[in-house]
Amino acid sequence: MLNIVLFGPPGAGKGTQAAKLVEKYNLYHLSTGDVFRYNISNGTELGVLAKNYMDKGQLVPDKVTIKMLESEVEKHPEANGFIFDGFPRTDVQADALEAFLSKRNTEVKVMLALDVDEDELVKRLLLRGKESGRADDANEEVIRKRIQVYNRQTAVVADYYSAKNKYIKVDGVGDLKEITNRLFNAIESI
Ligand code: AMP
């Protein structure tokens, strides 16, 4: 199984690049943000809960997020592997993922971290807010809050994988195809 954590701040291009990795490696793309948004648009209990946090740019609590992630993985026993996009976002989530995968005799093979500077992130997110109508992209204050949450709570997850020699930083600025090729090369180098 090829399990990849696609990492990076909001607006780094995780969703866009995940689609390219899915095509090439036949993996299942699991974006926790997408699952929350799906639940919000369907008015589920989970969606109502998640919306409170997402609208403020805060993280949904670990317990809820981990339970949701595990149930999503369990829905796809046929998968060749997973691209985890937007998960793990805390050390607690990283520990939970490791324990969960090891029970299934598998593991995270690599964390690919898209590196993009903050000004570029804000620019991209404001544009996405206009184009996609995503509520948390429409407001610069919420965008800055999400980047702050990333820097304070999520960036440390890179150290978690770095300590296991599973961390690869990839330049996330430039031509989309070129970034995709950088990711392919990183995977081939494992
Ligand atoms: P994303 O689509 O990955 O940018 O996520 C959008 C929002 O969903 C985040 O700002 C959080 O509020 C919530 N979210 C997504 N993934 C997680 C996670 N792993 N842990 C906690 N909250 C999350």
Which ranges constitute the DSSP H helices of the chain? 14-25, 32-41, 45-54, 62-74, 91-103, 118-132, 140-149, 157-162, 176-188
Q: Is 53 in the pocket of ligand 1 (CB under 6 A)?
A: yes
Q: State residue 44's pLDDT score.
A: 98
Q: Which two tokens stand for residue 139?
A: 């407001």
Under DSSP, is residue 6 helix (H, G, I), strand (E, B) or coil? strand
Q: From the alpha carbon of 89, which atom of ligand 1 is closest? A: 19
Residues 111-158: tens digit of each pLDDT:
999 999 999 999 999 999 999 989 999 999 999 999 999 999 999 999
Q: Which residue's C-alpha comes closest to atom 11 of ligand 1?
A: 59
Whole-model pTM above 0.85?
yes
For ligand 1, what atom is nearest to the CA of residue 56?
12
Exposure of 100 by Cβ count < 10 A (0-12 exposed, 13-18 middle, 19+ buried)? middle
CB 96 less than 6 A from any atom of ligand 1 = no
State the Cα–Cα distance between residues 92 and 41, nearest whole angstrom: 27
What is the model's pLDDT at position 133?
86
Instruction: Pull the structure tokens for residue 65.
Output: 């997020």
Map out the domains of the chain with their CATH numbers: 3-117+158-188 (3.40.50.300)
Q: Is the CB of 160 under 6 A from ligand 1?
A: no
- What pLDDT is attached to residue 47? 98
- Show Cβ contacts of residue 170 under 8 Å, excluding neighbours closer than 6 positions: 112, 113, 114, 115, 179, 182, 183, 186
Report the separation in Å between the CA atom of 61 and the middle of ligand 1, taken as the mean of its atom positions: 10
Question: 54: Cβ below 6 Å to ligand 1?
Answer: yes
Closest among 40, 25, 60, 22 to 146, alpha carbons compared: 60
Whole-number Å distance between alpha carbons of 60 and 110: 24
Return d(Cα 184, Cα 155) in angstroms, integer.
23
- The residue whose C-alpha atom lies closest to atom 8 belonging to ligand 1 is 33
The ligand 1 atom at the shortest distance from the C-alpha of residue 146 is 10
- Average confidence score pLDDT of the chain: 97
Over residues 161-187, mean pLDDT:
98
Asked if residues 58 and 149 have their Cβ atoms less than 8 Å apart, the reply is yes
- The catalytic residue positions are 14, 89, 128, 134, 146
Please report the pLDDT score of residue 45 as a whole number. Answer: 98
| Ligand 1 near 167 CB (within 6 A) | no
Summarize the confidence of residues 68-97 as an average pLDDT. Answer: 97
